[in-house]
């Protein structure tokens, strides 16, 4: 299962109302570290797709949700469970570290 794009308009239904946990990657095209972790997130979406949805939100195209959440630096990963923020991670990390963090929070 590949990562899915989330927008300001779809955030409520795709993330907050999801029946399984959703990891949202707040990113932008100009962000080097965001591009560095993108392949790892794609791989994790395949490996953990039955447990969690991995979604990406471009903060330049969708400023409302990141603004209301106070996103100030990217990449910024937020895990949502039952419509609530359950965990956050700022900055880039290797795939192994991302996977370990995510599995520990699920």
Active site residues: 31, 34
The answer to whether the CB of 79 falls within 8 A of the CB of 86 is yes
- What are the beta bridge partners of residue 21? none
Upstream peptide bond of 64 is cis (omega within 30 degrees of 0): no
Number of other CB atoms surrounding residue 64 within 10 Å: 12
How far lies 43's CA from each of 24, 35, 36, 82, 98, in Å?
15, 14, 13, 24, 11
């Amino acid at each position: 299962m590949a990562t899915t794009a989330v927008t300001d308009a779809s955030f409520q239904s795709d993330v907050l109302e999801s029946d399984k946990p959703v990891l949202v990657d707040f990113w932008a095209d100009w962000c080097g570290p965001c591009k560095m972790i993108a392949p790892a997130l794609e791989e994790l979406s395949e490996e953990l797709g039955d447990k969690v949805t991995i979604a990406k939100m471009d903060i330049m195209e969708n400023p409302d949700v990141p603004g209301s959440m106070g996103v100030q630096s990217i990449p910024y990963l937020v895990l949502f469970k039952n419509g609530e923020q359950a965990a956050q991670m700022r900055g880039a990390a290797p795939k192994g570290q991302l996977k370990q963090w995510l599995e520990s929070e699920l």
